[in-house]
Amino acid sequence: MENSKLKKRIVGEMNKVISASCVEHKTTEKFKDLHTAILKRYYNAIDVKIDYHRKRVVMDIIMDDTNYDSKKMNTYLQTFNANIFFRNLQDFLKSCIEKDDRSTAYYARLLKSLKGKNNEQNKLTIV
Quick: pLDDT tens for 50-74. Answer: 999 999 999 999 888 776 666 677 6
CA distances from 82 to 10, 24, 38, 54, 87 (A): 29, 25, 16, 15, 16
Task: Please write the tens of the pLDDT for every residue from 96-109.
Answer: 999 999 999 999 99
Give me the residue spans of the domains in the chain: 2-114
CA nearest 108: which of 2, 4, 3, 7? Answer: 7
CA dist., res. 85 & res. 89, Å (int):
10
For residue 86, name the pLDDT band (cuts at 50, 70, 90). Answer: very high
